[in-house]
Amino acid sequence: MHALSADDALHIDLLLGITLTAAQAGDPVNVQRLGAIEDDSWNWVPGRVYLGAEGALTQTPPTSGFDLLIGAATSATRITLNLQDPISLE
């Protein structure tokens, strides 16, 4: 498993879900596809959350590569997942 990047067209159909922890290559990870994820270090504004560059989550819609809506921030520290099909922006 590796981080996807919204600016890499080869990643457009590879989303499995959101990992719940960081891990080294080859280590097991937990992946979530549904429901809510909370992280006290987040500081979201309520609204849409997208896949960004290098696996980062962002609230700025991408302008190149592909658009992949992950879900919505429902509070500063919570995202409700609603993984959508990617849309190519190329």
Is residue 75 situated within a structural domain?
yes
Is residue 2 situated within a structural domain?
no
Is residue 46 situated within a structural domain?
yes
Is residue 19 situated within a structural domain?
yes
pTM: 0.84
Provide the domain count of the chain. Answer: 1
Is residue 54 situated within a structural domain?
yes
User: What are the pLDDT digits (tens) for 2-13?
Assistant: 677 777 676 677
Which structural domain range is residue 31 located in?
9-88
Is residue 4 situated within a structural domain?
no
Is residue 59 situated within a structural domain?
yes
Instruction: List strand residue ranges (DSSP E) for 1-90, in order.
Output: 18-19, 31-32, 36-38, 47-51, 57-58, 66-67, 69-75, 78-81, 87-88
Give the integer Cα–Cα distance in Å for 12 and 25.
Answer: 21
User: What are the pLDDT digits (tens) for 42-80?
Assistant: 999 999 999 888 888 999 998 888 888 999 999 999 999
pLDDT at position 87 over 90: no
- Cβ count near 9 (within 10 Å): 14
